[in-house]
Each structure stands twice: as C-alpha cells, then as structure tokens.
Amino acid sequence: RDRVVELAPQPRRAKRESAGMTPVRRALQILLESPELAAEVKTLDNLRNLDVPGVSLLIEVVELLQSRSGLTAAAVYEHWHGREEQRHLAKLAAASLAVEPTVQELMDCLQRLRESASDQRLQALHEKFVHGQLSDAEKNEYLALQRQR
C-alpha cells in the first residue's frame, strides 16, 4: 500500500514566455489569428478550476469557436460586444504575430496551463494533507500527482 509522503510540492519552473506573453494570452492570440485551430483542442476540463487570469475567457473562446466553425476574429469580438472581454481580445488581436501560429504552439500553451493546473491541485491537496483532511480519493489523487512530477 502506498504511503503519503509529506513533502511540500515545489512548483515547476516556468519557461520564460516570449515578450512577457503568458500561455493564456498567447493561446488567445493564436486563436484570434487562426480560429480554425480551436478544432484541434480535445478537452479543457482540466483547466476549468485553474486560478489564472484569463483562463475562463480562453475556455469560452475555444468553446465558441468549436461550436460555430468558420467564425472569424471579428465575429469573436462581436460575441463579446459591450463586455470587458472584448477590449482584452482587441488588444491581443492588435499585437501582430511574428510568425504564423501553429497547432503545436497552441498545444504547448495548453500543456503549460495543464501543468499549472496540476501544480495548483497538488498544492491544495498538500494543504489538506498537512491538516489531516484528505479523503481516501484525495490521497490517491495526491499520490498520483506526486508521481507525475
């Protein structure tokens, strides 16, 4: 039977983002430049609880583009007409991309976000562990997340 090891999880070292661009901002920028790439995103479920600014907008944009193929960046802006998100999307779209975005670049951004989500979950479970509040299912999840690192 596995034992829970009491080691505080260490966050992974974040890769330097080019020009200060976070994975969320870069993914949004890629999707605005090439909306058809949203079709390549298989799941975002593991990002839904990620506490990172902009991740909920990223999820909404991907879901919008997947549900209505053929949308342009202009149609995406219009979807958020009158909302604060429209201003953020317009700023991202205004910054031109140096190179044509690729599926791999989008997937890399999403992978970095998944790693952040795992790190956040591991930290939350560790806090519960320290206070003796882990359920059996959470202990198993905690061990699995530790093994993944």
pLDDT in tens, 88-112: 888 888 876 667 888 999 999 999 9
pTM for the full model?
0.78
pLDDT in tens, 4-33: 444 555 544 444 444 568 999 999 999 999
In angstroms, rounded to a whole number, what is the distance separating the alpha carbons of residues 41 and 89?
19
In angstroms, rounded to a whole number, what is the distance separating the alpha carbons of residues 105 and 30?
8
What residue spans of 38-102 are helical by DSSP H? 55-67, 73-79, 84-94
Per-residue pLDDT band for 74 (boundaries 50, 70, 90) equals confident
- The pLDDT assigned to 51 comes to 92
Burial class from Cβ neighbours inside 10 Å (0-12, 13-18, 19+) for residue 84 reads exposed
DSSP state of 22: -
- For residue 88, the tally of other CB atoms under 10 A from its CB is 16
3-state helix/strand/coil string of 116-145:
HHHHHHHHHHHHHHHCCCCCHHHHHHHHHH
| Mean pLDDT, rounded, for 111-138 | 90
